[in-house]
Structures are given as structure tokens and as C-alpha cells.
Amino acid sequence: MGDIISIHTDSRWGGSFELLEKARGLTDKPILAKGIHKDDADIEKALEYSTRKSTSSVDFT
């Protein structure tokens, strides 16, 4: 397993903010939100979902 997770937020590459939010709920690892963000609101959303703490109780060890 890697030290960081990279997730596309751009639909052109099969990504979305919903997938980013779902991933955030499954891990405490750092997440890099990748995409072409059209405005500051998208950048703020990417930062919010990337840095939000997980509520998951999943143990990946």
C-alpha cells in the first residue's frame, strides 16, 4: 500500500468529488485531489474533501 492516494475529480477521467468524498470516508491516508478545477469553489471543495478526517473504522492492516 502507498503512503498517499491520488483521485481524479474530473469527469473526463472518470472521477468526481463524490468519489473523493467516498474515499475520504474509507481511509486516513492523505488524498491528492487531481483535476482541472474551473474555479476557486472547486479548489476549495477539493481541499475540504482531501483534508477532512475519516469516519471509517475499516482496518487495512
Whether the model clears a pTM of 0.75, i.e. scores above it, the answer is no
| In-domain check, residue 14 | yes
The residue segments making up the domain with residue 39 are 5-50
Domain membership flag for residue 31: yes
Round to whole Å and give the CA distance between 7 and 33: 5
The number of distinct structural domains making up the chain is 1
Q: Tens digit of pLDDT for each residue in 8-35?
A: 988 889 999 899 889 888 888 888 888 8
Q: Is residue 57 part of a domain?
A: no
The answer to the question of residue 59 being in a domain is no
DSSP string, 22-54: HHHTT--S-EEEES---SHHHHHHHHHHHHSPP
For residue 55, tell me if it sits in a domain. Answer: no
Residue 19: closest CA among 3, 29, 41, 34:
34
49, pLDDT greater than 60: yes
For residue 5 the three cell numbers come to 492516494
Copy the grid coordinates of residue 51: 483534508
At 46 the pLDDT is 83
pLDDT at 58 over 70: no
